[in-house]
Structure 1
Amino acid sequence: MNEKPKTPEEQLHWLKLRFMLEQYKSLADTAAKKDWSHQEYFEKLLKGETDLRWDNGINRRIRLARFPVIKTMDQFQWTWPKKINRPQVQQLCRLNFIEQKANVIFLGGVGLGKTHLATAIGYQACLKGYTVLFTTAIDVINTLSSDQAAGQLKKGLKKYLKPSLLILDELCKALHKPSYVK
């Protein structure tokens, strides 16, 4: 577009107000039928645009988090493992540790739900507006080794330092591989 937008449709398109562009006419008709004030009409448009952008942001954060599967706390089987500090784990879902820049480590044997819990907390963080990256420790080691060999280590580190929450899965697997221990 080489000219300043003139029509409401052009202006809304240029401003990237997709909901308003798609709904302003039908909402205006509804406003007229229901005798809404100008403010009520505007509030409905604004709420619709805000909701759309919030939902799109959640979907984008979930996609960029790269979860292997979506898991929630509601899906977790609290009867297995036999010994788990449920209140402490549920406290983590409040996500205070992210603001405190604290680390959380789930330790235990295979099949106890460590990945499920980490994914559920990461998913909750996405819903609350935090950026998340889920990856394996081995992938981080391999990626950073390649970046270092290419002289791009600083750039590679940014990928892992940028998210509000970094979930490193399978840390013990990486620590038990002799080639990764160095």
Structure 2
Amino acid sequence: MTRITELTPLLKRLQLGPMAATLPERIALARREQLDYASFLEIILSDEVNRRAQRRIELRLNAAGFEETCRLEDFDWSASITLDRRLLDAVFSLEFLDKHEHVLLVGPAGVGKSFLAQALGYSAVRAGYTVRFSHADDFFKAMAQARVDNSLDRAFRSFLTPDLLILDDLGLHRLTPQQSADLYELILNRHRASSFVITSNRAVDEWLGLFDDPILGNSALDRLANASYQIVIEGTSYRERLSPHRAQLGTGGD
């Protein structure tokens, strides 16, 4: 143990400080298994590689700004919803990210669009991609505040740099002229360079009506539609299914 204590400052100087925590266990393993020097070195270096990989994942998860940890395996498949499962499985292969394509998740409130969008983002982070999650309204607010702060370029770039940008709840209201221009510029700059996941309560063919300028809207949506997977989710709101009032109504039969 004294020897390990002496090694700790050296490991820290080499930025290998975390290795000290597992070193006693690994030394004991090496003695027990009578490992040669090369095998022992391989084990402790593999530990460090795995630690650093996990740390990078944690940093990317923190940077993504997810509202909660969502994983596809935790999705409630018993819910009264319908969707194209094969198409969903296809996007969870993450091939769309390498092709700089997009995923559009549409359907009524409460059917799991945001959960699936964040689960897709979580899978992307685990696979090594950078991700940012943002409500659409928060993007517009960030742009408006950046104009006040004279920091528009920096704020806009923060939405351009991630490999995957998740815009949640697009289309809650009609866009102002400035919001229309901001969304157009965002789509224009990210298209064919990186990917979107966009969720909306509105069908994609209704999105044009959100734009103040139909010319901007047509140009933006044409780019999205021609390089996207559109997943339509239909069914009853999860929150509505949990409603005590609805449960009481259901006890009388239907």
- Structure 2 CA distance, aligned partners of 1:120 and 1:23? 32
- Structure 2 CA distance, aligned partners of 1:82 and 1:25? 52
What is the deviation of 1:33? 3.0
Q: Which residue of 2 aligns with 1:146?
A: 145
Q: Where in structure 2 are there 5+ consecutive unaligned residues?
A: 1-5, 181-211, 213-254
Mark the CA change 1:54 to 1:94 in structure 2 (over 3 Å): closer, same or farther. Answer: same
Alignment of 1:4-153 (within 5 A): 8-80=7-79, 82-153=81-152
The answer to whether the Cα contact below 8 Å between 2:8 and 2:17 also exists between their aligned partners in 1 is no
What is the deviation of 1:62? 1.5
| Structure with the greater alpha carbon radius of gyration | 2
- Structure 2 CA distance, aligned partners of 1:145 and 1:43? 52
SS in 1 for 2:104: coil
Mark the CA change 1:81 to 1:92 in structure 2 (over 3 Å): closer, same or farther. Answer: farther
Q: Which residue of 1 aligns with 2:174?
A: 176
What is the deviation of 1:167? 0.5
- Structure 2 CA distance, aligned partners of 1:148 and 1:79? 46
- Structure 2 CA distance, aligned partners of 1:129 and 1:44? 23
- Structure 2 CA distance, aligned partners of 1:139 and 1:82? 28
RMSD of the alignment, in Å? 2.1
- Structure 1 CA distance, aligned partners of 2:59 and 2:41? 27
Identity among equivalent positions (%) equals 26
What is the deviation of 1:21? 2.7
Q: Which residue of 1 aligns with 2:205?
A: none
What is the deviation of 1:108? 1.2
TM-score normalised by structure 1 residue count: 0.86
Higher strand share: 2
TM-score normalised by structure 2 residue count: 0.63
Q: Deviations over 1:131-166 (max 9, x none)?
A: 111111111111111112332211111211121111
- Structure 2 CA distance, aligned partners of 1:23 and 1:83? 48
User: Relative contact order (alpha carbons < 8 A, sep ≥ 6): 1 or 2 greater?
Assistant: 2
What is the deviation of 1:171? 0.7
Larger mean CA deviation between 76-85 and 143-152 belongs to 76-85
